[in-house]
Structure 1
Amino acid sequence: MSEGDVVPTAGPVVVEAHQVVTYPPPTKLFEKHPSKPHIDGMSQYESMYKESITEPEKFWGKHAREHLTWSKDFQTVHSGNLNNGDNAWFVEGELNASYNCVDRHAFKNPDKAAIIYEADEPNEGRTLTYGELLREVCKTAHVLKQMGVQKGDTVAIYLPMIPEALVAFLACSRIGAVHSVVFAGFSSDSLRDRVNDAKSKVVITSDEGKRGGKVIATKKIVDDALKQCPGVTGCLVYQRTGADVPWTTGRDWWWHEEVEKWPAYIAPEPMNSEDPLFLLYTSGSTGKPKGLMHSTGGYLLGAAMTGKYVFDMHDTDKFFCAGDVGWVTGHTYVVYAPLLLGIATVVFEGTPAYPNFSRYWDTIEKHGITQFYVAPTALRLLKRAGDQHITAQMKTLRVLGTVGEPIAPDVWKWYHDTVGKKECQVIDTYWQTETGSHVVTPLAGVTPTKPGSASLPFFGIEPAIIDPVSGKEVAGNDVEGVLAFKHAWPSMARTVWGAHKRYMETYLTVYPGYYFTGDGAGRDHDGYYWIRGRVDDVVNVSGHRLSTAEIEAALIEHAAVAEAAVVGVADDLTGQAVNAFVSIKDGNEINDQLRKDLILQVRKSIGPFAAPKTIIIVTDLPKTRSGKIMRRILRKILAGEEDSLGDITTLSDPSVVEQIIQTVKSGRAQK
């Protein structure tokens, strides 16, 4: 090499970090503030974070006693470890979730707003105070006891976004029952599987639900599911619309009739810190949904502390999380975090587009909301609809949160500049059903933020970037790999219900000594984290994790389908969209009707939100010689990356790949 030759220097690994500017917390946030943020700047965050990693027992013990009310104190802060999957927190302690969310606030200020119900029709909502909430919860708890529910039993909840959904959560936890909430968009088959897996004795539902001007036949869906749920002895039905619904005498009970029979107080059941609080099913890469079990003490502490420090919740705040209680976002940030902190929480029944695209902004204005929390999917929809819908001043707003998937920098900037008028801080939170509460996130009023980055770890979370090939941790900054955590934290899920081996294999033995998130990530030159999406066979549609195996199983139920392979592809609106490659058995006619039937099959088997956006019918799928379908190849073909498929000569029939490429190209040409 001559002296004049220049060796090209490699560019940064985490390129995204160099394409954006860093935003300090807006000055206006402090001017609007009722007092000041709970944490006084980055130096205090850093000292608290250091204590949470180097002296975790001291840190968590102090915060558990500060944020929760215990009927019996604990002596042991933490036992167990990630290697053995036996983590337990605040071991001897006893407390009750319902008491912590309701009673202690109702005794102090019974007339304070607890639930702001924003009904589907804008003029039909109402507000429940903490005093009213306590009475409703106690009456409903009495009814559940009369229905035979005992401490440790599971109760399935299949309700729309109405205040009674929160009442049902809290009535269960008051008597020591384990709630298992199923999103009221799941099909009867999905509900049946979850009810049976959890062995729920009672199901709580409504006659119907309302969403976006449409009616959802919740009771009919429950009736269809219960035909194959022999363990269910009772069904409690809230009257939402007053429609005539099928009735099974002896099994079905009307909520409004039963609550009138019982007094408005029942003592809360003392629960051990490690007793189950709830089960929540999440999609697994094997196809069978996993019932993740969260404990009482640790989960409640995670909810309370992230509500307080991430969203900077203060006593007079009104919090609006637009998530549904059927998902973990609704559990933690519609129900538990705001109520644990004694503030008002919005229960939003409708959609962002009904009756028009200004619904969120009008709701914020109407109720004087201080923090708003929503998935990037909704923001993409509203950005596309146009800025003319943002007429509300929203002067009380301080914090704009996002959840469910990484937010693209252009959407982040629109959210910050146009919705927040550069006066609110955008808080891009990273967490999972399994983590219980935020794990990598900015803190409002504290953390400088970068559009597209989840920023820095929450207290007690020590992230590691792992090289997926060697399985070793990658040290330093400007690195990428898969994201794992080095230590247990209080709000992590304790097990998969009835399948602890699966819990270990999914999260704890992939990289022994670490919790494996299943997500790829980069750590930039400043130590900020950038989440890159799933590294397993899960797609993220509108912030909902869907198992490709579960959708494939639904497609294969159709008599015409020989094989199916499902992959996620980038989508401007939903983040990712489900695309299904299907090979058809001989003798079946291939036409548009078949494609429609296959989409309907998935809707029926799982629910409308899992329906494939595109069905691509092919003669065969790319498989290894051992029969494994190579979804990676299908993803690359859909992304137009035919040139970088790698070595396909090891496939059982490499010619299949070229056929699929031509099928995809001709499908695009027809569009």
Structure 2
Amino acid sequence: MNTLPPLNNQYQRSLTDPDGFWAEQAAALPWSRTPSRICTTDADGLTRWFADGELNTCYAAVDYQVEQGRGEQDAFIYDSPVTGVVRRISYRQLRDEVAQLAGALRALGVGHGDRVIIYMPMIPETAMAMLACARLGAVHSVVFGGFAPHELAIRIDDAQPVVVLTASCGIEFDRVIPYQPLLNEALRLATHQPDHCLLFQRPQCEADLSLPRYADWASTVAQAQPAECVPVAATDPLYILYTSGTTGKPKGIVRDNGGHAVALVYSMTAIYNLQPGQVLFTASDFGWAVGHSYSVYGPLLHGCTSVILEGKPVRTPDAGTFWRIVQDYGANVLFTAPTAFRAIRKEDPNATLRRQYDLSTLQAVFVAGERCDPPTLAWLQLVTNVPVVDHWWQTESGWPMVANQLGIEALPVKPGSATRPVCGYDVQILGEDGQPLGPNEEGYVCLKLPLPPGCLPTLWRDTPRFRDAYLSRFPGYYLSGDGGYVDNDGYVFIMGRVDDVINVAGHRLSTGEMEELVSSHPAVAECAVVGIACPLRGQRPVGLIVLKDGQTITPTELEQELVTLLREKIGALAWFRNALTVKRLPKTRSGKILRKTIRQLADGEPFDIPPTIDDPAIIGEIRDALVVARVGIAFADA
């Protein structure tokens, strides 16, 4: 039952009395030393939360849950369609296995403050590795298992780990990807060399453990003595998660122990409306922020069960996988990226497979990572018959900034909006001059400082870059990098990155708005709109279109209908004349459309293929389509 105060009261208090508000939320955690200093400023002038508090995140997430009587409850349910394995791990089993693994890491020289790189697939041992580091007060940095050696080497050099934890392979559908050759090449490229590489052997591909530095996971763990939890300062880092730029050094997002735990526990009730014992299925890789927050730490800190899926329905979806998991494990909340549901809708537009499964336990569907287009939102609402929440947050925040807070007060859904700011976040829309804009005026989406608990306090060993990237443009505000507006009802609309605005004959137009209109066409599965240089108008928008399966409309007919649609909805000033049909759009492995890459292709810029891309081969098709469009536009307007 919801016992939280009404949303307006709670939100206003979170801004006017942040110390009192967050002290109350912190009381839900088992501190080894309860904090008395709630929000303070450190020697660098940066915000720190619960500075004199002390706790251990692993204890709060695992041992404490056993003490509360949840020892036999499932902590994790691992479902691997790619191997046919299902494994249930209780809180008691998790505690014992994590303590043993922590003991093995301690024997390899890992202690409080040391870094550990985790380069592993979506298996339970990856989550255990994260928790084992937290148990020792060590700082983990999970590197997505699909990253190439160069990207892994950059992260090794920046984090300087004592140990690298890895597995013999990852599995993508019917393809086995050996990790040892990738790690070996990364170590060859890296300047820093870890003392040890602890490797988990998988039967699909065995690695050579006779090589220097390598140790066998199973035998090393079996010989270790279990480790107890090491209390650490609330402001000590729990993990580093590197953002993935297409060029340059990735930014090491730091997450602290205290603020992180407080924010996640609060969000599990206030936003996701989950109670201890319920089941959360988050279809995200451990290598991303969502996987950290809502596959591992959030559910465990709140005493819930988390479903871990090995496999990527985003890329070649089994349109029934998500629905099967909801039915088989009684999932109460399903959380994934909109692109996953667009892919499912493309393959099963009439939701025939969905009707084969019982979704009676499902309370809500949450989507994040990129804006959920209204047609996908409407389809999801229809086929699930539960609230569908499009909410907005970033790797930097670590938990939602704008959402429909179902645990406090479920608000009406407005398609295209992430609803209202979450408690603790003072969201404001600023103009070029740094002044707040009025309702429905589009500008920079910013957060008035201080940021609430759980957000990044700085970047790993690079506070100057933190200031420059996030705090310097508008003093007193955090710059999110996204553009958007707030309507008359206080609903926040995120329209995309600030560079997703094109200038057509002096008119600044949002490609996000155009994408929303293009996606509303019944034949369109997903799309991206980019600006292409135009000798007369500066830029002109071009749409890249992926059709739903089974469509008979011709590319020419579709283009004509979309031109008419955008002329009716935006006006002739948009000058939308080109809709190019493609098989796929370039995406990250987490399912986000690589709009920056598409823009670079549209501009004809030289660039490195992003290390996060799921299929580099798609670049050629998109480049060829955009070259044709660019030549055609130049010829037409010459």
1:347 partner SS: strand
Q: CA deviation at 1:116?
A: 0.5
Question: Could you list the per-position Cα deviations for residues 407-463 of structure 1 after superposition, in whole angstroms to 9, with x for gaps in the alignment?
Answer: 001100111111x1x2x1111110001111111000126222212210011111111
What is the match of residue 569 of structure 2?
none
The structure 2 residue matched to 1:450, chosen from 414, 433, 457, is 414
Closer/same/farther in 2, CA of residues 610 and 306 from structure 1, 3 Å limit: farther
One-letter code aligned to 1:470: D
Closer/same/farther in 2, CA of residues 285 and 504 from structure 1, 3 Å limit: farther
Q: Hey, what's the Cα distance between the residues in 1 that align with 2:628 and 2:304?
A: 46
The structure 2 residue matched to 1:366, chosen from 328, 339, 347, is 328
What is the match of residue 103 of structure 1?
63
Unaligned runs of 5+ in 1: 1-35, 542-547, 549-566, 586-597, 619-633, 641-657, 666-671
Question: Could you list the per-position Cα deviations for residues 638-663 of structure 1 after superposition, in whole angstroms to 9, with x for gaps in the alignment?
Answer: 897xxxxxxxxxxxxxxxxx868449
The structure 1 residue matched to 2:381, chosen from 416, 419, 432, is 416
Q: CA deviation at 1:316?
A: 2.6
What is the match of residue 115 of structure 1?
76
Within-5 A mapping of 1:71-220? 71-80=32-41, 85-107=45-67, 108-121=69-82, 123-220=84-181
Question: Could you list the per-position Cα deviations for residues 320-378 of structure 1 after superposition, in whole angstroms to 9, with x for gaps in the alignment?
Answer: 00011100010001011100001100111012277832111111111111100010111
2:60 partner SS: helix
Q: CA deviation at 1:146?
A: 1.2
Q: Hey, what's the Cα distance between the residues in 1 that align with 2:147 and 2:635?
A: 32
1:447 partner SS: coil
Which is further off, 377-386 or 531-540? 531-540
Closer/same/farther in 2, CA of residues 59 and 91 from structure 1, 3 Å limit: same
The structure 1 residue matched to 2:13, chosen from 13, 36, 51, is 51
What is the match of residue 320 of structure 1?
281
Within-5 A mapping of 1:287-436? 287-352=248-313, 356-386=318-348, 387-390=351-354, 391-418=356-383, 420=384, 422=385, 424-436=386-398
The structure 2 residue matched to 1:490, chosen from 431, 436, 453, is 453
Question: CA contact under 8 A between 1:85 and 1:504: conserved in structure 2?
Answer: no
Question: CA contact under 8 A between 1:602 and 1:608: conserved in structure 2?
Answer: no
Unaligned runs of 5+ in 2: 502-510, 516-529, 531-540, 547-584, 588-592
The structure 2 residue matched to 1:602, chosen from 609, 615, 618, is 609
Which is further off, 46-55 or 237-246? 237-246
Q: Hey, what's the Cα distance between the residues in 2 that align with 1:663 and 1:184?
A: 45
Closer/same/farther in 2, CA of residues 50 and 168 from structure 1, 3 Å limit: same
Q: Hey, what's the Cα distance between the residues in 1 that align with 2:216 and 2:632?
A: 54
What is the match of residue 466 of structure 1?
430
Q: CA deviation at 1:106?
A: 1.5
Which is further off, 98-107 or 572-581? 572-581
One-letter code aligned to 1:499: D
What is the match of residue 239 of structure 1?
201
Question: Could you list the per-position Cα deviations for residues 42-74 of structure 1 after superposition, in whole angstroms to 9, with x for gaps in the alignment?
Answer: xx11111111011110000111122x1100111
Q: CA deviation at 1:664?
A: 11
The structure 2 residue matched to 1:613, chosen from 619, 626, 629, is 619
Q: Hey, what's the Cα distance between the residues in 2 that align with 1:274 and 1:568?
A: 47
One-letter code aligned to 1:495: T
Q: Hey, what's the Cα distance between the residues in 1 that align with 2:339 and 2:55?
A: 37
Which is further off, 299-308 or 326-335? 299-308
Q: CA deviation at 1:197?
A: 1.0
Matched length: 548
What RMSD, in angstroms, separates the aligned Cα atoms of the two structures?
Answer: 3.2
Question: CA contact under 8 A between 2:420 and 2:492: conserved in structure 1?
Answer: yes
Closer/same/farther in 2, CA of residues 524 and 59 from structure 1, 3 Å limit: same
Question: Could you list the per-position Cα deviations for residues 521-576 of structure 1 after superposition, in whole angstroms to 9, with x for gaps in the alignment?
Answer: 110121100101111599999xxxxxx9xxxxxxxxxxxxxxxxxx9976656545
Q: Hey, what's the Cα distance between the residues in 2 that align with 1:483 and 1:58?
A: 27
Q: Hey, what's the Cα distance between the residues in 1 that align with 2:446 and 2:303?
A: 33
Within-5 A mapping of 1:493-642? 493-536=456-499, 572=546, 575-577=593-595, 578-579=597-598, 580-581=600-601, 602=609, 608=614, 613-614=619-620
Question: Could you list the per-position Cα deviations for residues 199-246 of structure 1 after superposition, in whole angstroms to 9, with x for gaps in the alignment?
Answer: 112111100112323212222211211112342111111122352323
Q: Hey, what's the Cα distance between the residues in 2 that align with 1:435 and 1:491?
A: 7
Closer/same/farther in 2, CA of residues 75 and 380 from structure 1, 3 Å limit: same
Q: CA deviation at 1:501?
A: 0.8
Q: CA deviation at 1:389?
A: 2.1
Q: Hey, what's the Cα distance between the residues in 1 that align with 2:181 and 2:303?
A: 36
Closer/same/farther in 2, CA of residues 202 and 664 from structure 1, 3 Å limit: farther
1:460 partner SS: coil
Q: Hey, what's the Cα distance between the residues in 1 that align with 2:73 and 2:183?
A: 35
One-letter code aligned to 2:425: I
Q: Relative contact order (alpha carbons < 8 A, sep ≥ 6): 1 or 2 greater?
A: 1
Question: CA contact under 8 A between 2:72 and 2:90: conserved in structure 1?
Answer: yes
Question: CA contact under 8 A between 1:49 and 1:459: conserved in structure 2?
Answer: yes
Q: Hey, what's the Cα distance between the residues in 1 that align with 2:211 and 2:324?
A: 43
Closer/same/farther in 2, CA of residues 359 and 141 from structure 1, 3 Å limit: same
Q: Hey, what's the Cα distance between the residues in 2 that align with 1:416 and 1:638?
A: 38
Question: CA contact under 8 A between 1:120 and 1:213: conserved in structure 2?
Answer: no
2:262 partner SS: helix
Question: Could you list the per-position Cα deviations for residues 597-640 of structure 1 after superposition, in whole angstroms to 9, with x for gaps in the alignment?
Answer: x99x737x66545666347889xxxxxxxxxxxxxxx9xx8897
TM-score (norm 1): 0.76
1:602 partner SS: coil
What is the match of residue 437 of structure 1?
399
Closer/same/farther in 2, CA of residues 608 and 400 from structure 1, 3 Å limit: closer
